[in-house]
Amino acid sequence: MRLLLYFIIYLLLVFPLQAEKVPAGYAAKWDTIPLTDLDYKIKNKVNCKSFEGTLKEGKIEQPHISPFKIINETLKSFIAGYKVRMSQDELNSFPNIDTVVIWPNYEQSNWYVLMGSESCFVKWIELQPDNIDNIISIGKKI
């Protein structure tokens, strides 16, 4: 009985250490800035779905999440790396992305990546942080 008790205690102490952790450390090496109130202010666009409106909806649904914007060389690398993954048909219809927001969800392994062009929402994808880092690495090589 004592051996069983030691084994259970061992599992309770060691098992969480062995569990896969969300590699949030990746985000620490990317060029990012937190979103501000201006990022949620809807611009006057009538011919597309507002990127800012999409962010605002997300913040209402998940107020506990602190999204951040990819900027500078990391933004250029992400866009270039993401385009490598696209088919030629997708590439032809893909607009010039100028905004990429990461919506991390530390409770799950996938994070949301929202893309926008000139204040228009283009698309969102769901990726693991290591895949986001991989896309950025591919883009750096181009």
pLDDT of residue 86: 82
pLDDT of residue 102: 95
51: which 2 tokens? 């990127």
pLDDT of residue 42: 85
pLDDT of residue 53: 92
- Residues in the chain predicted with pLDDT less than 50, given as ranges, are 17-23
pTM listed for this prediction? 0.77
Name the DSSP class of 22: P
Any idea which residue has 């250490």 for tokens?
Answer: 17
Crossing angle of helices 72-85 and 129-141, in 10° steps, is 90
